[in-house]
Structure 1
Amino acid sequence: MLKTLTAAAIAEYERDGFYFPIPVLGAEEVQRYRSALEAFERDNGGPLRGPMMFKTHLLFRWVDELIRHPKVLDAVEDILGPNLLAWNTHFFIKEPGDERYVAWHQDLTYWNLDPDEALTAWIALSPSTPKSGAMRMVPGTHTREVVPHLDTWKNGAMLTRGQEIAVEVDEDKAIDVTLRPGEMSLHHQKIFHASPANRADDRRIGLAIRYIPTHVRQVVIDDDSAALVRGTDEYGHFQLEPRPERDMDPALVAMQAEAAERQARILYHGTDRPTFRADI
């Protein structure tokens, strides 16, 4: 029995490779989460960068709340099933006038997860519009295998390698994933997607949560970790991550640093890069 999505919504996701908008947070929740993020930024000299962009659910109790939010998990369960891991969390923040962008890519290219059943829940904490740099997706491209990508390492490219699809992308077919604060989109890990620079007056703040069913495994390293957020894990493919009892708990900060280092080994596999770029 479906928990929140309709059969038509599931069919749209399976056909297009993405579905939106899904309301998951109320206005007070959005304000609380955004305020928590921006208070940390003010107290620590600026936006999250580099390794701190990843596995943020280990650093902040409020991000841990978000990855376990019932409305988020109900929608994800409708697609992936009842036993769920949050493999990663990643903030995508574009400041007003920020020239940074995300080129056309497929997530699975460097995730090294098998089978290819991951999805991203992208939660907007500010308006995500074409002007502010909303994601754009090409329907149906998730049915293709992973296509060649070029690692550009460009400044301003927000992905780990500055990667971009090295084959033609029919941008005329792209759909703008417009979200209001508190709304969420879901997308398949093989969908062609990108996002331009922010030309709006407000920040564009999105939290990407990478969910996988518990039977998925990591094929590059054998010590990867994830958070069990719903159901049971009968496979043991990942070390299970604890929940933070408070923000920036020293033990969890150390664990996040180790987990981010493992993420770097996965995402930079095959290169000589030892850790995340400081500018992403």
Structure 2
Amino acid sequence: MLPMPKILPSQAIEQYQCDGYYFPLKVLDDNEVTASRAQLERFEKSQDQPLAGAQRNKSHLLFKWVDDLMRHNTILDAVEDLIGPDLLCWNTLFWIKEANSGSFVSWHQDLRYWGLDTADLVSVWLALSPANLASGCMRVLPGSHQGELLPHKDEYADGNLLTRGQEIAVEVDEDQTVAMPLNPGEISLHNVRLAHASSPNQSADRRIGLSLHYMPTKSKQIVGEWDSAALVRGEDRYGHFKHAPQPAKDFDPVAVEFHRQATDAVREILFTDAEKVRPTI
């Protein structure tokens, strides 16, 4: 007998299993969203530039408030309803499109590049500003998480936020896709194999999203020689990943050094066999 879900209604779980995604789920109230965005933009102001490069990647090791979001009970309850109680977070990653910018994300499937052996990874996308059609919210291809992974090609297009500018090498029927608009403080959840993309931000506000990538503790890294993840719930009886430290404050020295090692490892995995390396993460 399956355990009772903690937070997701049964139809949400069924939709996720069938179509590969579910949205929206409210996680943060307006005050929490405002505080999170303020902390991000306060740091950006302090360095006179937006978050960039490795700062986007495994950001929970740099910012305690991101680590707190990664461990948010509502998020973890939803993920547990989908993949069980023993959870690692492999990565956290900021997706920021400046107002009226050409930045976009091409159609792709993450599992093609992440070097992981699991199809059970859940990607949570948290909106810290409006993510709608005008600002370039995520779009998904329902059911594309089932069957074989689609062929991809590396395009390295300017403005593509992906590492290689990778994109699915077959035509995607846009009429079959679904947009996932989110209000600030809401999340979507999608399977690591699901094809997804997003268009440029044509709004007057920044589109700020934080993705958090959760997987069962039994998961393995099969491309890189070393990889890390944060144990966020339950227990890890497998030890396939080096556990990330939990920062006591922003830019905790121990966590910052671990961040350097961890992001180097992720970059090596993501650019395996690539023609060139871009400083996108």
Q: How does 1:1-280 map to 2 (within 5 A)?
A: 1-271=4-274, 273=276, 277-279=278-280
| Shift of residue 272, structure 1, vs aligned partner | 5.5
Number of paired residues?
Answer: 278
Give CA deviations for 1:179-215 in whole Å, capped at 9, x if unaligned. 0000000001111110000001111000000111000
Aligned partner letter, 2:152: H
- Where 1:113 maps in the other structure, the secondary structure is coil
Q: State which drifts further: 9-18 or 248-257.
A: 248-257
The answer to whether the Cα contact below 8 Å between 1:124 and 1:205 also exists between their aligned partners in 2 is yes
Question: Is the deviation greater in 55-64 or in 264-273?
Answer: 264-273
Task: Return the alpha-carbon distance in structure 1 between the equivalents of residues 245 and 207 of structure 2.
Answer: 29
- Report how far residue 168 of structure 1 moved: 1.4
Could you tell me how far 1:144 is from its partner in structure 2?
A: 2.8
**C-alpha distance in structure 2 between counterparts of 1:257 and 1:169, whole Å:** 37
Deviations 1:26-74, CA, capped at 9 Å, x for gaps: 1111111110000000001211111111000000000000000000100
What SS does structure 1 have at the residue aligned with 2:102? Answer: coil
Paired AA for residue 137 in structure 1: V
The one-letter amino acid of 1:164's match is E
**Residues 144 and 190 of structure 1 are in contact (CA less than 8 Å); yes or no, is this contact kept in structure 2?**
no
Structure 1 unaligned segments of length 5 or more: list them.
none
Change (3 A) 1:279 1:213: closer
Deviation at 1:223, TM superposition (A): 1.6
Aligned residues of 2:103 and 2:161 also touching (Cα < 8 A): yes
Structure 2 unaligned blocks of 5 or more: none
What is the CA RMSD across the aligned residues, in angstroms?
1.1
Q: State the Cα distance separating 1:279 from its structure 2 match.
A: 4.8
Q: Kindly state the Cα deviation for residue 249 of structure 1 after the two structures are TM-superposed.
A: 1.7
- Give the AA of the match of 2:279: A
CA distance in 2, matches of 1:271, 1:122: 26
Q: Within 2, Cα distance between the matches of 1:104 and 1:234?
A: 35
Q: CA deviation at 1:112?
A: 1.2
The amino acid of 2:20's aligned partner reads G
SS, match of residue 218 in structure 1: coil
SS of 1:143 mapped into structure 2: coil
Q: Identify if the C-alpha distance between structure 1 residues 123 and 4 changes in structure 2 by more than 3 Å, giving closer, same or farther.
A: same
Q: TM-score, normalised by structure 2?
A: 0.97
Per-residue deviation, residues 214-240 of structure 1 (Å, max 9, x unmatched): 001000123200000000000000000
**Identical-residue share of aligned pairs (%):** 50
